[in-house]
Structure 1
């Protein structure tokens, strides 16, 4: 177990969000030929698809009078027409048509943001476009692998994105917030290991020879009808900066080798989480639950999605209340426990990313 006594407090003030990073702009099915708007890192973005099906992200404000382009319509192969005076921009953000004049003002452009489609999401890069390397998209391969099945939803969370990361990096809260579904006493009692390398953090927890909580008992019985007995349970949390957390979770019949790698006598899921800052006090929280058993059952997919959504609803209420308390106590500092080790490393990584961007901006002056 990692000891965090060396730093007992952490500021409760909200952290900024790095811009030189990939965030999810939306589910791939959300973005269509009809423009939509989403605020990302405090900036409204107009999202649409070209005739060829490519996703486009433009600043959601016309060069002429700042009218929201997302209220306009797509025209031609890749154009987006302003709803106010009909100016048309291409997918690179350059004006290609102006009303009542043949000469186009060369300054008539709007920012265009790099996007890439991967793992059922459209990802966007809000920072320096020359640094937008698609290889830096966090690994969420379970979302699109034929070895896994599942579905997810989006939560519009009324809190800073860092509070969601804190919540996911320390799952002992399940014992208290989710006592009727996935929580159990062994969560607080069990040992855990925190490791970090570069911009990644991993927290590993095993609970041996315990009763399965209701959520996992149902899943075991979906795969092994009539299952009874003790289980070995695991939670392996993987953080990838700035805001993606995948959690390897599951239970297996106790003593059948799951800690050594044989999970054949159990059920395994991945809780996929990626959070996109909207403002300092609101976030787009994209999540899914993927499983590697009974892949053909849409019933199980829907039941799991709805069940996890109910669990996350409890988190949502707590995070909203926490944000309101932070706003009411702006000078308060959090006190840290050993269970906060993963979250503290996440904060340190984010602070380093923000410092690097600040130095880059200063050097450019």
Structure 2
């Protein structure tokens, strides 16, 4: 008995820990997987250092981020350099190094566009609602080129007002009525006063004796078509005796990031909110980096998207110390990491590029690049 209690005392803490983990896992929220928007491509960039004396070239370094393929040697003897002695210039065989680095070539996944790879209108799974072509890719604008018969930011509407159906190909046939048109419409007719029939083309003479109130109409009864009753006009709702105008804005007909304005019975206008753009039915976040580059100086900075209508500037590689409206200052590589020979005078001539001067030889550590896509 004592042994059982001792064993239980040892196991009890482990049991409590196990139960605690179960409760924690059961209560932890599950994050929905985010649709991938970047599909970067693996590539290789190869450069060669400037040609110079083979005895000096062995100590020349590759730029930051590069691996010297010809490490431990004088390099490749495939070039010539100039040696100036007084008024004479000699053309001498020289050496240079091969430097290589692997990098990811930024690319957007299908259904995304711009430097920040934002979703195309209608979503990445069905760009432009499947009724048009999105100008996608990092150089794209994200605009939809709708197929014939469609219009809208995401090609979400029929181009004509009197057609209906998912293909916007069926034509409404209402004569004296209002057609249920549009992509989601079925073409049914809601007849005006004193008309009946599928096409609202059959007059009802008996309606002359039925005096319907304002904003209502004479129509066959919904329960017994042999009898007449007053029903609200299209764009109004009520019991036929009291009819009030329909306010579409109460039905969330606009995009969640749009404001709805009531314009009259069953009429409205949708306008995208600040930081968004579109036709009001579809509103997309505005990325300042895609349009005005976020007012960032393009020479020394990159624009970073922060949210709808918001962005900030960051220094490019080989630049530092950002000043709003001015940009960033070029980093002096010779001070931070001198890539040239120890007995040479180094000077930074352009971003990430240095120049070496040896007496009496004038050499350069400039690099020529060649992109080689990897399979």
Structure richer in helix, relative to its length: 1
The structure, 1 or 2, with the larger RCO (C-alpha pairs under 8 Å, 6+ apart) is: 1
Does the TM-score normalized on the shorter chain lie above 0.5?
A: no
Q: TM-score, normalised by structure 1?
A: 0.20
- Please say which structure displays the higher CA radius of gyration: 2
Q: TM-score, normalised by structure 2?
A: 0.20
Structure richer in strand, relative to its length: 2
